[in-house]
Amino acid sequence: MKRKFLFIFLLCFALYAICFAGNGVKAAEPTYSEENGYILNGSQKCFFANGTNVSIEERADGQSGATIFWEDGTKSVNVPSDINVFGGAHNDSTVYENTKITMNGGTVKNLFGGGLHESHVKTAEVILNAGTVTGSIAGGGANVFANSDYCANSNLPFANSLTRVENAIVTANNGNAALIYGGGEGNSYTSIANVNINGGNFDFVTAGGSNGYTGNANLKVTSGQINLLQSVNRGELVSADMRVAGGTINKLYVGGEEGDTSVTGTIENVSLDITGGAIVTNLYIGTSGGQKIGTAGNNAKADVDIYKGATVNIASQNDFANIKVTNYVFVTINENRFEIEEGKTLADLAELENVKNIEGKEFVKFVVKGTDETFEESTVIDNNIELEAIYKDKEIKPVPTTETDKTPKTGIQDTRRTIPLAIVLVSLIILVTACAFSNKNR
C-alpha cells in the first residue's frame, strides 16, 4: 500500500510540474559588495540584481549616488553615483523569468533591464519615476560595455548573441536621463522592445537598441521633453511602431539620426503616428543603413500619419516625396471618435453605416454638436469636428425568448485552468481506486 501511495503521489507531482513549472528561474541573491555596494568589472562599478526586483531611492545621508532596496524590504545598500545597475546576471547561463528595476530618486550611471555579457532574461522591466541617469537606460542587456572584462563573444551573429532579453519594457514617468534605448547594447539580442515616455527630460531616445538586434520596437510618448527621438541607432531593427501623442520633441527621425556617421542601423518597416497635443519642432525622414530613407536603393518602408491637433514642422518636404504621409482629422459622432483622412467626407467613413443603422431607430440627419445646423455627408472635412446623429425612435418589438436563450454565453473556456484541474481530479480518482483495491486485497 505504501509503495502504491508513493507512486501515485509522485505521479500527481510530476503532472503538476508539467502543467505549472516554467523554464526560467525566478530570482537569486544579487551580486554586490556589502562594503561599498558594487563589484568591479574591469573598471566599471556594477550591481547585479540577478532577477531580484529592486528599487532605487535617494540616499538618506545626503551623499551623491543612491540607495538600492530589495523589493521585499529585507535589505538595502548605498551605492555611488557612477554605479551600473543590471536587472539580470553577469556571465551566467541561467535563464531568469523576469527582472524589474524601479528608480524613484538618486543618481546612477546606467540602468539595464537585462544582464552583462552572457545573460538571459525573459521579461526585463525598467521604470524611471524620478532621479537622474547620467548615462543610459536600456531595456535589454549589455554585451560589449566599454572598460569591462569583455567575457562575452562579441563576434557572434546577433541572432546567436549570449546577451539576451525576450521582452524589454522601459517606462519613464519623470526624472532625467541622457539616453534611453528599448533594446540592448553592443552585440546584444532583444526580441521585443517597449518604450513608454510619460514625462521627464531626455536628450536621446531610441525605440530599438543602442546596437545589436531588436525584433519589434513599440514606442509611445504622451508627455515630456525629448531633444532627439529616432527609431533605430546601430545594429538591426526589424520594425518600429512609434506613437507620439504628446510631449515636446526637438528632432524626430522616422529612421536613424541624419548627419551622424555612427548611426548605421537598419530598419525594415517603421510606422509613425503623431497625434493629440504633440509638438515636433523638426520632423526628418531619417536613415536606414546610413542612407536616407526614400532614396534609390533604400528598401526601408515608412508610413507617417499626422493628426489634426498636433504641431509638426517637416524640416524638408522633399525628403518625404517618396514616403506616404497622411493627414487625418477626428470626427466625433455621439461621443464616439473616428479618424478620417483630411479632405474626405463622411461618406468615406467606413463605420458610417453602423452609426446610421441602429436597431430600433430611424436615422434622420447629422447636426453640428450643440446646434441645429445640418451637416451634409458630402461636406469636405478639413478640421476636427463634433457631430450628433439625430434619430426618430421606432417601435421595438420584443424578441420571443426560449429556454435555450436563458443559458448565458460564457465564451471560450480557459484551458489553462481546466486541463490542470482535470489532471488533479483524475489523479484523485486513481488514488481512491488504488486505496479501495488495496483494502479489498488485505
The SS3 assignment for 32 reads coil
pLDDT band at 394 (very low <50, low <70, confident <90, very high): confident
Is pLDDT of 73 > 70?
yes
Per DSSP (E only), the strands in 64-212 are 66-70, 76-79, 83-86, 95-108, 110-112, 119-138, 163-172, 176-181, 189-206
Task: Give the pLDDT of residue 136.
Answer: 98
Nearest-5° Cα angle at 116, 54 to 160: 125
For the segment 425-436, the average pLDDT, to the nearest whole number, is 56
pLDDT tens for residues 84-112?
999 999 999 999 999 999 999 999 999 99
Our CA dihedral for 9, 14, 20, 25, rounded to 10 degrees, sits at: 120
For the segment 10-16, the average pLDDT, to the nearest whole number, is 42
In contact, 278 and 249? CB cutoff 8 Å: yes
Is pLDDT of 64 > 60?
yes
Task: Give the pLDDT of residue 421.
Answer: 54
CA distance 293 to 237: 14
C-alpha cell at 88: 539580470
Is pLDDT of 10 > 80?
no
Ramachandran quadrant class, 42 (left: phi over 0; alpha: psi -120 to 50; beta: rest) = left
Is pLDDT of 222 > 70?
yes
Q: How much of the chain, in percent, has pLDDT values that exceed 90?
A: 79
* Range of lowest pLDDT (20-29, 47-56, 322-331, 382-391): 20-29
CA distance 167 to 314: 33
Task: Give the pLDDT of residue 267.
Answer: 98
Task: Give the pLDDT of residue 3.
Answer: 45
Is pLDDT of 163 > 50?
yes
CA distance 188 to 146: 14
Burial grade of 334 (CB within 10 A; 0-12, 13-18, 19 or more): middle
Is pLDDT of 414 > 60?
no
Q: How many CB atoms lie within 10 A of CB 325?
A: 18
Is pLDDT of 199 > 90?
yes
Task: Give the pLDDT of residue 22.
Answer: 46
Least Cα distance to 134 among 110, 159, 103, 164 occurs for 110
Least Cα distance to 131 among 111, 158, 146 occurs for 111
Is pLDDT of 8 > 80?
no
Structure-model confidence comparison of residues 261 and 9, the more confident one: 261
pLDDT band at 173 (very low <50, low <70, confident <90, very high): very high
* Range of lowest pLDDT (129-143, 221-235, 237-251, 357-371): 357-371
Q: What is the overall mean pLDDT for the chain?
A: 89
Burial grade of 117 (CB within 10 A; 0-12, 13-18, 19 or more): buried
In contact, 228 and 254? CB cutoff 8 Å: no
Ramachandran quadrant class, 138 (left: phi over 0; alpha: psi -120 to 50; beta: rest) = beta
Is pLDDT of 30 > 60?
yes
Question: What secondary structure does DSSP assign to 367-391, as a single string?
Answer: EETTS--B--TT----S-EEEEEEE
Is pLDDT of 424 > 80?
no
pLDDT tens for residues 334-368?
999 999 999 999 999 999 999 999 988 999 999 99
Task: Give the pLDDT of residue 302.
Answer: 98
For the segment 159-167, the average pLDDT, to the nearest whole number, is 96
C-alpha cell at 348: 468615406
Is pLDDT of 120 > 60?
yes
Is pLDDT of 380 > 90?
yes
Cα of 304 vs its chain's centroid, Å: 20
Task: Give the pLDDT of residue 280.
Answer: 98
The SS3 assignment for 160 reads helix
Task: Give the pLDDT of residue 151.
Answer: 78
Q: Residue type for 336, please?
A: N
CA distance 301 to 291: 13
Structure-model confidence comparison of residues 382 and 4, the more confident one: 382
Task: Give the pLDDT of residue 14.
Answer: 42
Task: Give the pLDDT of residue 298.
Answer: 95
The SS3 assignment for 435 reads helix
Is pLDDT of 411 > 80?
no
pLDDT band at 2 (very low <50, low <70, confident <90, very high): very low
Task: Give the pLDDT of residue 288.
Answer: 98
Is pLDDT of 24 > 90?
no
The SS3 assignment for 72 reads coil
Q: How many CB atoms lie within 10 A of CB 410?
A: 6
